[in-house]
Amino acid sequence: MRETLLAGGRNCRPLIAAGGLSEAFVDPALAALEARGAKVRFGARLRAIAFGETKAEALDFGDETIELKPGEGLVLAVPAWVASGLVPGISVPTEFRAIVNAHFRCSPPPDFSPITGVLGANTEWIFRFPDRLAVTISAADRLLEVPREELAEKIWREVAEIAGIAAPLPAWQIIKERRATFAATPEQNAKRPGAATRWHNLALAGDWTATGLPATIEGAIRSGNRAADVVLRGVGQDLRLDVPVEHVVRRLVGLDRPVLGKLPHLSRAVVGHARVPDLSVAHEIGEGAAGLLGRRLGVGPVHLIKIDVVGP
């Protein structure tokens, strides 16, 4: 409500993925990952995570175990009930609501609206596509036990009347998703965790985390951005604490491969510990004098930056 209706105007504009969700979200995301050298693996179920005192240490995929090296982080973006089985001690929503989708192959009237909200019927939303009409019914638990054929007939009668189509039931598909969204109740909302966990290289993502939004694609995207921020900050600790300097620089320039070629000397870097309290006397005098001079330096204009606070 705060981010849409109360924010007014542009914030209330509904958006529809005209060519489908894959075209709008999935394909561009995969392309962006590939362009940055990431490999995406499908069909691999994470079975367990090995935890150390402060870090997630390894991922068990059954046929393969992947160790998390210093500087590597984990964003766990699985459903709430899967996350609670993988990560001990986290709070997650435990009640869910169903969504029923119905798809009808037809040529919708050209003047039929791309999105139609419906009151007083089973049908809640009708989405127009070039070759079909799609219906979404949220909190649809009451329809889960209704046979699919009966549902298709019932929903099509409503849709045909609203769209002004005088035709019998066309080719159809009904999809029932039992745990489509967490139940949007104050009790369940209070169970949504933030992105950060007690392990500094592990963050939680998913529409069920505390995004401030209901269980939506937008919430899922926001959760992913927050989890990425949390993990980057967390693995930053690794980079500061346990990694040789040449690895740090490699990681910092890791997204820009051509730069690596300019850093051959790093492979032979000798890393020492700065023991600041034990500076040599001559050095101490020099440092001290520099500090004294530094005190009178003026402070120039500063830029204000916006900081997104991420929950615990």
Binding site for ligand FAD (CB under 6 A): 45-46, 77-79, 82, 99, 101, 136, 175, 177, 180, 206-207, 215-218, 220
- What's CA 309's distance to the chain center, in Å? 16
Nearer to ligand FAD (CB atom), residue 79 or residue 254: 79
Amino acid code (one letter) for 162: I
In whole angstroms, the minimum distance from the beta carbon of 289 to ligand FAD comes to: 57
Residue whose token pair is 């926001």: 222
Taking a C-beta distance cutoff of 8 angstroms, is the pair 97, 214 a contact? Answer: no
| Dist. CA 220–CA 207, nearest whole Å | 4
Q: Residue 92 or residue 243: which is nearer to ligand FAD going by CB?
A: 92
Neighbouring C-alpha atoms within 13 Å toward the C-beta of 146: 17
| Nearer residue to ligand FAD within complex by CB, 30 or 289 | 30
**Which letter does DSSP use for residue 196 in this model?**
B
CA count, 13 A, side-chain hemisphere, 166? 0
Q: How far is the CB of 175 from ligand FAD (least distance, A)?
A: 6
148/251 with CB nearer ligand FAD: 148
Instruction: Point out which residues pair with 242 in neighbouring strands.
Output: none
Q: Identify the three-state secondary structure at position 100.
A: strand
The two three-digit tokens of residue 195, written as one number: 């992105």
Residue in the block written with tokens 């009151």: 119
**How is residue 277 written in tokens?**
């309290």
Quick one: tokens of 234? 């967390």
Shortest separation between residue 38's beta carbon and ligand FAD, angstroms: 16
Residue 77: CB minimum distance to ligand FAD, A = 5
Q: Please report how close the Cβ of residue 71 comes to ligand FAD at its closest, in angstroms.
A: 23
Based on CB atoms, which residue is closest to ligand FAD, 207 or 238? 207
Query: Strands across the sheet with 48-51, in order?
Result: 48-51, 56-60, 65-67
The residue among 136 and 189 lying less far from ligand FAD, judged by its C-beta, is 136
Q: How far is the CB of 99 from ligand FAD (least distance, A)?
A: 4
**Torsion sign (Cα): 154, 158, 160, 166:** positive
Q: Which of 194, 177, 238 is nearest to 83 (CA)?
A: 194
For residue 233, how many other CB atoms are within 10 A of its CB?
14
CB of 216 to ligand FAD, least distance (A): 3
CB of 302 to ligand FAD, least distance (A): 38
* Cα Rg, the chain, nearest whole Å: 27
